[in-house]
Amino acid sequence: MAERLRAVLPGLAVLALLLAGLEWAVQAGLIRRVLLPPPSVIGTTLWDLLVSGEFLAPLVATLRLVFAGFAIGSVIGVLLGTAMGWWPAAFRLFEPLVELLRPVPKSALVPPLMLFLGIGDTMKITSVALVVIFPVLLNTLQGVRGVDRVMLDAARTHGWGTAHTLWHLVLPAALPFILAGMRISLGLALVLAVLAEMLAGQGGLGFLILDMQRSFLIRQMYAWLVILALLGLMLNGVFVVLERRALHWQNRNP
């Protein structure tokens, strides 16, 4: 615990200095209050939101989109990445499509998705799933292709079938790559969920941030932005803990 505290102290010090600098700049008139209230004022507004529990409903709405899209995109990415990495025929079949869609900013797909799927949760979850698929797919593909050939030869020597080899050897060996792709995708999932809520939402953090800006409720807008930032930090922290537990064998001392 003491080591962790020492590790985060420099970052906390930089954050404190930044907030103190912003507070001074606003109080000194270098930054217009109408554009950026002092951090102390934003903090008071944030505290009121947290104490009242007003943040819970929008937070749950956003998390529901993130988790649903993240789960769907991760499953598709792992399955497709495993198939492309294991079977050359699958790679030749899907590689052109993957390379065609992968560079397209997934935010650009939200408007056409709205035409086909409407502005409900189906469109939002689909948008999140699309941004999750490709990092997970590519990392899974590289992980599967990087499995030690000696281990694969040993599995064949012992008579392991394809399904048994994939489940008990290939996927465990590729797990660090898969989890790295999922960690990247989790942040992207939050971005697309908030964007979809801004464009077509009636709730959630994205909708509220945009609604506060349109209503010129600047203090509230920044308070919701802080909640969004804390949510991203929390999601990443939880995933790191789960990742360490899943890869506990990597952290063992020799």
Task: Retrieve residue 155's tokens.
Answer: 């599995």
pLDDT for position 160: 86
Cα dihedral: 54, 57, 58, 64 (round 10): 160
Cα-flanking dihedrals φ and ψ of residue 121, to 5°?
A: -65, -30
pLDDT digits (tens, 9 = 90+) for 128-167: 999 999 999 999 999 999 988 888 888 888 888 888 888 9
Instruction: Please say if the pLDDT value at position 83 is more than 80.
Output: yes
Beta carbons within 8 Å of 29's beta carbon, 6+ residues apart: none
**Per-residue pLDDT tens for 2-48?**
666 676 777 778 888 888 888 888 888 888 888 888 988 899 999 99
How far from 171 is each of 9, 72, 135, 186, 246, CA to CA, in Å?
A: 37, 18, 16, 20, 13
Instruction: Give the pLDDT score at 254.
Output: 45
Q: How confident is the model at residue 253 (pLDDT cuts 50, 70, 90)?
A: very low
8 Å CB contact between 131 and 185: yes
**Interval 43-65: pLDDT, tens:** 999 999 999 988 899 999 999 99
Question: Residue 68: pLDDT above 90?
Answer: yes
Best CA proximity match to 119, nearest among 67, 65, 56: 65
How far apart are alpha carbons 26 and 37 in whole angstroms?
7
Residue type, position 30, single letter? L
Radius of gyration of the chain (CA): 22
The residue among 90, 61, 85 whose CA lies nearest residue 206 is 61
Q: Flag whether pLDDT at 250 surpasses 80.
A: no
Instruction: Give pLDDT tens digits for 84-123.
Output: 999 999 999 999 999 999 999 888 888 899 889 888 889 9
pLDDT in tens, 194-237: 999 998 867 789 999 999 998 889 999 999 999 999 999 999 99
Q: How many residues does the chain have?
A: 254
Q: What is the tens place of the pLDDT at every residue in 166-181?
A: 898 999 999 999 999 9
Give 15's contacts (C-beta < 8 A, 6+ positions apart). none
Decide: residue 20, CB within 10 A, 0-12 exposed, 13-18 middle, 19+ buried.
Answer: exposed
What is d(CA 184, CA 66) in angstroms, rounded to the nearest whole number? Answer: 13
Give residue 2's pLDDT.
62
Higher pLDDT, 80 or 6: 80
